[in-house]
Amino acid sequence: MAVEKQFILEGWGLDESWRLFKIIGEFVDGVEALHDLGPAVSIFGSSRTKPNSPLYKKAELIAELFAKNHFAILTGGGGGVMEAANKGAAKAGGRSVGLNIILPMEQKPNPYSNLKLEFKYFFVRKVMLVKYASAYIIMPGGLGTIDELFEAATLVQTQRIKPFPIILVGSDYWKGLKNWIQSHLLENGMIAKQDLDIFLIMDDPEEIVNAVKKIVIL
């Protein structure tokens, strides 16, 4: 009985209950910090992108253009593309928001966000990146980037959120994924034809900003 009680306290009992309060606390902190953010775009991409790479420069430019058009910039708060986007927003004098995740490696807050929040739980941060975004801008990235892409696409597909622009930046990088979706998912009846319209593949920074502006009311 004593062993059972200890297991409950240390495993699935009180520890789990208290964890719920920590989760709720992260939601409260996020909502309080972002509720008056205004129109914003969430920008995703690899944290491993180097500052001297064309991808970094492009992410910086896209964010700068959005900021000049009165959009706040939301990122995961780390390095690479996230750093570039926060840097571009800050350069334009815009609101540059970094929603950092606590990880044992890779993720350190970049210095360019003028509003920083820190999260322990990925899913809480995901809610903030969706809830306060008027569009998703997906730069080339790895598993985390693809996770964010498909999570947003699924929410739009299932009508859990209002449709909003999901733009994949870089036709060379993303066209293989789109071809796979068409040849495997669509042709096998796993998705409907209109699901292909959930996201766009684009390259030019100014065209990306203009595409979002046509849909989002500032």
Q: What is the pLDDT of residues 7-54, one digit of tens each?
A: 444 455 567 788 899 999 999 999 999 999 999 999 999 999 999 999
Is there a single domain that holds both residue 32 and residue 101? no
Is there a single domain that holds both residue 21 and residue 44? no
Using pLDDT thresholds of 50, 70 and 90, give the confidence band for residue 164: very high
- Which of these ranges, 70-74, 102-106, 148-152, 189-193, has the smallest mean pLDDT? 102-106
Nearest to 137 by CA among 37, 30, 38, 45: 45
Is there a single domain that holds both residue 135 and residue 45? yes
Using pLDDT thresholds of 50, 70 and 90, give the confidence band for residue 107: low
Is there a single domain that holds both residue 11 and residue 78? no
**Alpha-carbon separation of residue 84 from 7, 53, 95, 165, 203 (angstroms):** 46, 10, 14, 21, 17
CATH no. for residue 132?
A: 3.40.50.450
Is there a single domain that holds both residue 22 and residue 69? no
Query: What is the overall mean pLDDT for the chain?
Result: 92
Q: Can you give the pLDDT at residue 7?
A: 43
Whether the pTM exceeds 0.85: the reply is yes
Is there a single domain that holds both residue 22 and residue 121? no
Q: Can you give the pLDDT at residue 11?
A: 52
